[in-house]
């Protein structure tokens, strides 16, 4: 495999970047140069040491020359691959995203993709991504760009806004978790050891975090009839309030029983393909109250934990043991190897619609299957879901486009129309307007 020059924007990150170092170590064919760029310059510099330690611990010292770079242009120059994983705005901006809506009775389980909180986060992120794209156009127009930042759809859309010919895709592991859930079911249904999630073949459609499985196969078996049976069985939905409360206590925000996903299959005809905490935010009837959400075993990630965790991550010192690489759930390195010609990959991708999703306009960032090979990402056509699902997705995608256009043109009045149109919006016009103004204020403190 050829030497690859990689730039990580958000290279000071304590979580995502370090996982990526480990993935690079684990895949022994990769080698080249790694440049860390971060608005927190000290963090980037500190991560150079961490990266070197990761390669050393995993007996790969020398495979990558790692450095930090304060200037974005210099960091990007000559890159083959740019990876973007940032926090748009300081962590305390999340107060406005999460706590203010709650004060008005709008509950969000994640608040980084959709809902009032996701919209404000988009308002902070979009200008940054337009800038990144323009820098890429100048310094490495031929580089492949992988975005991991949420709101995924809008950050990726902003890249294409800033540089229409950018070779970018958005990457997300939520569909993998759904495949893993199906793998578990396969183990049970066919009395076999749980297969690898890569052996579950799904046909997906939607927008990131609001994606749906329309077809699923394992070893030639159509899984949809069994899934429908499961979804239609009232016993599936036995009350999980106890489970939820335990999860609250144990801070297991990400645990998921896929009951929201299944209830979408039961009601609308396609299986939700993201964690329940994400799916629940795109429709009004799961987040009516915490009690209702708990019945599905879902708990909301609290603002306080986010602040605490951010601090813990920042202060964390890694033991060697923690830097040992194993096969991870992230596909970033596999995508990189595929784009560099070392393998091929059939996976899920977030890319501008060229026809892969026939019920959305061209150009919208959509999530579908895709085939990745040497210098090429090709979207695979998604089967059409039932009309009820199309309706839910279309609405979300339209609101995303309204948000993008409003933020790019700096028009907060237009953004308010998107705000009103969000699926979680259940306030009176007066209250909606009041909340919007407060959230604009809280979101201003970008850095």
Locate 348 and state its tokens. 């899920």
Q: Does 344 bind a copy of itself (CB under 8 A)?
A: yes
Measured between alpha carbons, how far is 89 from 328 in angstroms, rounded to an integer? 28
Cβ partners under 8 Å of residue 340, min gap 6: 1, 2, 4, 80, 374
- Decide: is 374 part of the binding site for a copy of itself (CB under 8 A): yes
Distances (CA, A) of 97 to 69, 161, 297, 302: 31, 24, 23, 11
Report the alpha-carbon distance of residue 196 to residue 387 in Å, rounded.
Answer: 32
Shortest reach from residue 52's CB to a copy of itself, in Å: 29
Least separation in angstroms between residue 196's CB and a copy of itself is 14
Whole-angstrom CA distances from 386 to 174, 200, 213, 283, 359 are 22, 22, 11, 16, 11
Structural contact between residues 253 and 98, judged by C-beta atoms closer than 8 angstroms: no
164 binds a copy of itself (CB under 8 A): no
Residue 103 in contact with a copy of itself, rule: CB under 8 A: no
Contact flag: residue 52 with a copy of itself (CB under 8 A): no
Q: Which stretch binds a copy of itself (CB under 8 A): 70-78, 132-140, 183-191, 374-382?
A: 374-382
147 three-state secondary structure? strand
Q: How far is the CB of 329 from a copy of itself (least distance, A)?
A: 21
**Nearer of residues 93 and 299 to a copy of itself, judged by Cβ:** 299
Binding letters toward a copy of itself, positions 220-259, x by CB under 8 A: x-x-------------------------------------
Whole-angstrom distance, CA of residue 265 vs CA of residue 247: 25
Q: Which of 31, 173, 177, 278 is catalytic?
A: 173
Q: Which of 82, 357, 365, 435 binds a copy of itself (CB under 8 A)?
A: 357
Q: Are 110 and 45 in contact (CB under 8 A)?
A: no
CA R_g for the chain: 21
Query: Is residue 221 annotated as a catalytic residue, yes or no?
Result: no
Q: Which of residues 317-336 bind a copy of itself (CB under 8 A)?
A: none
Residues forming contacts to a copy of itself in the complex (CB under 8 A) are 201, 203, 217, 219-220, 222, 263, 267-269, 283-286, 288-289, 292, 295, 340-341, 344, 346, 354-358, 362, 369, 371, 373-376, 378-384, 387-388, 390-392, 394-395, 398-399, 401-402, 405, 413-414, 416-418, 420-421, 425-432
């Amino acid at each position: 495999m050829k030497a690859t020059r990689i730039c990580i924007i958000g290279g000071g990150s304590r979580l995502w970047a370090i996982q990526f170092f480990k993935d690079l170590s684990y895949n022994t064919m990769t080698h080249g140069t790694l440049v860390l760029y971060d608005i927190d310059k000290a963090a980037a510099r500190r991560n150079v040491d961490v990266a070197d330690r990761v390669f050393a611990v995993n007996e790969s010292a020398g495979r990558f020359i790692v450095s930090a770079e304060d200037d974005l242009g210099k960091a990007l120059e000559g890159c083959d691959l740019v990876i973007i994983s940032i926090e748009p705005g300081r962590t305390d901006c999340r107060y406005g995203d999460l706590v203010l809506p709650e004060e008005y009775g709008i509950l969000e389980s994640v608040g980084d993709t959709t809902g009032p909180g996701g919209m404000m986060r988009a308002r902070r992120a979009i200008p940054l991504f337009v800038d990144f794209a323009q820098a890429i156009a100048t310094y490495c127009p031929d580089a492949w760009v992988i975005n991991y930042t949420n709101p995924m759809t809008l950050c990726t859309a902003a890249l294409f806004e800033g540089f229409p010919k950018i070779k970018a895709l958005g990457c997300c592991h939520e569909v993998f978790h759904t495949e893993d859930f199906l793998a578990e079911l396969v183990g049970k249904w066919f009395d076999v050891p749980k297969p690898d999630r890569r052996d579950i073949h799904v046909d997906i459609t939607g927008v990131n975090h609001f994606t749906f499985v329309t077809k699923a196969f394992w070893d030639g078996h159509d899984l949809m009839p069994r899934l429908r049976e499961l979804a239609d069985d009232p016993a599936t939905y036995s009350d999980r309030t106890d489970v939820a409360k335990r999860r609250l206590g144990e801070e297991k925000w990400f645990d998921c029983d896929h009951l929201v996903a299944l209830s979408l299959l039961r009601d609308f005809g396609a299986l939700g393909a993201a964690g329940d905490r994400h799916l629940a935010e795109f429709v009004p009837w799961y987040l009516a109250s915490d009690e209702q959400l708990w019945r599905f075993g879902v708990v909301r990630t609290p603002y306080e934990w986010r602040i605490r965790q951010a601090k813990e991550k920042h202060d964390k010192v890694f033991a060697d043991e923690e830097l040992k690489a194993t096969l991870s759930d992230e596909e970033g390195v596999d995508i990189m190897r595929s784009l560099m010609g070392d393998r091929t990959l059939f996976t899920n991708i977030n890319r501008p619609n060229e026809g892969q999703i026939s019920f959305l306009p061209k150009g919208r960032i959509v999530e579908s299957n895709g085939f990745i090979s040497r210098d090429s990402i090709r979207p695979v056509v998604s089967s059409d879901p039932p009309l009820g699902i199309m309706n839910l997705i279309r609405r979300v995608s339209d609101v995303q486009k309204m948000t993008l256009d409003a933020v790019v043109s700096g028009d907060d009045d237009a953004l308010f129309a998107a705000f009103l149109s969000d699926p979680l919006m259940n306030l009176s016009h007066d209250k909606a307007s009041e909340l919007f103004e407060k959230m604009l204020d809280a979101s201003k403190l970008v850095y």
